Amino acid sequence: MINLEIPKKFVPLVGQAHQVAEEVFRPISRKYDQEEHAYPKELDMLAALIDGMNDGSDLGGAGAAGVRRTDGDGTDSIRNGSNMSTVLGIIELCWGDVGLLLSMPRQGLGNSAIASVANDEQLERFRGKWAAMAITEPEAGSDSAAIRTTAVLDEQTGEYVLNGEKIYVTSGERADLVVVWATLDRNVGRAAIKSFVVERSNPGLKLDRLEHKLGIRASDTAAFILDDCRVPKENLLGSPEVDTRKGFAGVMQTFDNTRPLVAGMAVGLTRACLELTERLLREAGVEVDYDKPAASQSAAAAEYLAMEADYEAARLLTLEAAWMADNSKPNSLQASMAKAKAGRTCVDVALRCVRLCGSLGYGGELLLEKWARDAKILDLFEGTQQIQLLIIARQLLGKSSAELK
């Protein structure tokens, strides 16, 4: 039966996450925006708390609990599961602070990859570790199939030897592990790309620099050089076989599952902007009337309504994608729609809210200007706006990546 309200059983979780956002994240938001690269030690206690809540806690970070697809319980009954609860938690936490969410210990994207594709032995071995994700290279961003970092098996030692350069590694300095994407054979293309778990302490994994960024400055962004970096072959995630038929499926599967989570981040940030703007507009004497036609209200009220509508569309698309994942429905199309809509909406709304709020929006006293800077990353990482539109278009039009470039 069609119902698009937040499931009742997740209301306590949403409340908890909101409390964390309000009482832990917001008070230190500005501090770590100003002190880029300082470690937000306040999060250690929070992370310990989350660890203690049990392994499957829904109050995770960027989907670190993993977003394994469930095959259902054999019945036709509809489920609201971990994909939805994780998204709901993320929305609340990013209402607090996106950069701090990304900095949550042991809740990195690498954890998500491990949880999603690791075998049981690996799951056990990497349990409790904080894992970052290293995909992007200076010459390969959106085109992740073009990565140049190589992995060569040393038969004698049973180790893979990694060589290359990785950039934009979120929490790369702080994490215990880095999941590195590398190719077993550059001539084969996508099918040869595998992910390898590298201990942060590995001498072959050399920190090159930490980036200075427009926003999400609480989250450190590392660049690494992999210089004859040796990892045990047991650290390869998934199958070592180069199966050209399955192509990219293994590694891209992580993305199908994490795009709705990043969309959730954008939704949370958008709501933060709207709530603050609504308060400031009310103080300025503007209130939205939902029954009166927008054109008959003040321009600010009409603009607010338009922004709120886009927010709601982004939010519902995000929930739809998560709901499909929970119910084993293929959701690659909806995941990209959610990411594209939420990404563009959060940037658009944040920038318009800054304008509507004038110097209160643009100044450093409140957080609106920071949110507007934070927002932009959400239309970039986990696939830019343009990449999402490509994925959507290729599916709708039945095009290969060779036809629709």
Partner 1 sequence: MSMAERSMGLGLRALGRLAGSDVVDRLGVRKPAERVLYRATRDGFKAVGAAGRTFKSVNGGRKAQRLPSTTSTGLFDLTPTDEQQMLQESFRAFGSDQLRPNALRADTAAKAPEEILKQGGELGLTMLGVPSALGGAVDERSSVTAVLAAEALAHGDMGLAVALLAPAGVASALALWGDGDQQATYLPAFVEAETPASASIAIQEPRALFDPFALQTTARRERDDFVLDGVKSLVPLAEGAELLVVAARLEGHGPVLLLVEAKERGVLVKAAPGMGVRAAATGDLLLEGVRLPARALLGDGDPAVYAEAVRRARLAWCALACGTGRAVLDYVIPHVNERVAFGEPISNRQSVAFTVSDIALELEGMRLATLRAAARLDAGKDAAREVAIARQLCSEKGAWIGSNGVQLLGGHGYVKEHPVERWYRDLRAVGVCEGALLV
Binders of partner 1 in range 5-24 (CB under 8 A): 5-9
Q: Is 2 in the site for partner 1 (CB under 8 A)?
A: yes
Give whichever of 238 and 268 is closer to partner 1, judged by the CB atom: 268
Q: Is 85 in the site for partner 1 (CB under 8 A)?
A: no
Q: Show the tokens assigned to 405.
A: 């470039």
Q: Is 1 in the site for partner 1 (CB under 8 A)?
A: yes
Q: Show the tokens assigned to 81.
A: 């599961």
What gap in Å lies between CA 280 and CA 293, rounded to an integer?
Answer: 22
Give whichever of 84 and 178 is closer to partner 1, judged by the CB atom: 84
Least spacing, CB of residue 303 vs partner 1, in Å = 11
What gap in Å lies between CA 190 and CA 144, rounded to an integer?
Answer: 8
Q: Show the tokens assigned to 65.
A: 């609990």
Least spacing, CB of residue 313 vs partner 1, in Å = 3
Binders of partner 1 in range 372-391 (CB under 8 A): 386, 388-390
Residue bearing tokens 């004859």: 228
DSSP string covering 97-124: -HHHHHT-TT-SHHHHHHHHH--HHHHH
Least spacing, CB of residue 301 vs partner 1, in Å = 11
According to DSSP, residue 387 is labeled: H
Number of residues binding to partner 1, judged by CB under 8 A: 51
Q: Is 382 a catalytic residue?
A: yes
Q: Of these, 47, 146, 242, 294, which contacts partner 1 (CB under 8 A)?
A: 294
What are the start-end ranges of the H helices in 68-195? Answer: 82-96, 98-102, 109-117, 120-125
Binders of partner 1 in range 299-338 (CB under 8 A): 305-306, 308-310, 312-314, 316-317, 319-320, 323, 334, 337
Residue 360 CB neighbours (<10 A)? 17
Q: Of these, 62, 151, 177, 392, which contacts partner 1 (CB under 8 A)?
A: 392
3-class state of residue 247 by DSSP = coil
- For 37, 140, 190, 309, the CA distances from 251, given in Å and listed in that order, are 29, 16, 9, 34
Which residue is catalytic, options 303, 320, 369, 382? 382
Residues at the contact surface with partner 1, assessed by CB under 8 A: 1-9, 78-80, 84, 290-296, 305-306, 308-310, 312-314, 316-317, 319-320, 323, 334, 337, 340-341, 386, 388-390, 392-394, 396-399, 403-405
Any idea which residues carry the catalytic annotation? 382
